A = this chain, B = another copy of it.
Amino acid sequence: MSAGGNIIALSGGVGGAKLALGLAACLGPAQLAIVANTADDFEHLGLSICPDLDTVMYTLAGLADPERGWGLAGETWQCMDALAALGGEDWFRLGDRDLATHLQRSLLLARGEGLAAVTARLCASLGVRHTLIPMSEQRVRTVLDTDRGELAFQTYFVRERCAPRVQAIRYLGADAAVPSAALLARLDGADGVIICPSNPWLSVDPILAVGDLRARIAASRAVAVSPIVGGRALKGPAAALMEQLGLTPSALEVARHYRGLLRGFVMDREDAAQADAVRALGMDVLVTDTVMTDAASKARLAAEVLEFLSGLRA
């Protein structure tokens, strides 16, 4: 069975979106579905904000800001500045053009459309041809138990800049949530599942926690790309979070975290010394350059991951 026919990628925000873009360069629109974490979604200023969906959508549309790592390139901030002058909440920066996405999504949701349909509509408007699917139509919300009390994800991540020490992470609503219908349809007969280099605890685990998704993915041919390279997270708080959870930040620990779920694990050359320990966990290993700095390195890594996947036992 070729790995090219029906691939599902699981993604959080920036790091995941990079590999998703690489995969989109390798696979046709019918061959790839990207499933984004929605447990970071929140209601803010009366709007429905879906940071990971939007990061993937903007990245696939070629509209993402390459420097800042979130939001739209060439964005302006007139509304946020005016909101600050009115005493409004401006800790979560919404650009003027980005605001249109939240306004339109919020309006369509309020009219009764589901998040998957709204996402498909927004993607079509922006010229995104590959399928982007929210992990679930139901509300799942990441909550962190910290030394400063229970914090909603965006409060911890953006307002408090990951400063509170995390003691535990919960995905409220995940048990009762159902995977998106489009995802379930794809998973039946999927040729492979690729877990993008996103934060395992904050971006991937919420997806796996939805209903019986973990078991379904474990039964498929799944690989993950380590978001930890040389003991550091390429983006975001993954390494710091691992330390707070009592774990050594390493590709090996990430592989241990995914034990029982994966057939294969992709790690950076910098971490090659850990490859045997990962193999001992029962996974095939691909050691390669995993740091994606441009379009070419994204497509190259994606192609290598797809080839690795197609070579795994079915």
Contacts and interface: CB of A to CB of B under 8 A. Distances in A.
Interface in A41-86: 45-47, 75-76, 78-83, 85-86
B126 A101 contact: no
B86 A126 contact: yes
A282 B77 CA distance: 55
A139 interface: no
Nearest to A48: B46
A151 B96 CA distance: 31
A293 interface: no
A46 B103 contact: yes
A87 B126 CA distance: 10
A224 to B, nearest CB: 33
A147 B85 CA distance: 44
Contacts of A45: 103-104, 107
A181 interface: no
Report, as a range, how many residues of chain A touch the other chain: 20 to 34
Interface string A110-121: 100000000001
Nearest to A108: B88
A66 B94 CA distance: 28
A100 interface: yes
A121 to B, nearest CB: 7
Nearest to A105: B86
B107 A79 contact: no
A122 interface: yes
Given A78-B78, A79-B100, A86 B122 contact: yes
A38 interface: no
Contacts of A83: 100, 103-104
A97 interface: yes
Specify which of A96, A98, A101, A106 lies most central, judged by the most chain B CB atoms within 10 Å of its CB.
A96
A308 to B, nearest CB: 37
A47 to B, nearest CB: 8
Nearest to A122: B86
B99 A86 contact: no
Given A85-B126, A101-B82, A126-B85, A107 B76 contact: no
Given A46-B107, A106-B46, A96 B79 contact: yes
A199 to B, nearest CB: 29
A69 B97 CA distance: 24
Nearest to A72: B82
B82 A100 contact: yes
Chain A to chain B: the 10 pairs with minimum beta-carbon distance, closest first: A82-B100, A78-B96, A82-B97, A83-B100, A96-B96, A88-B104, A86-B125, A79-B96, A86-B104, A79-B99
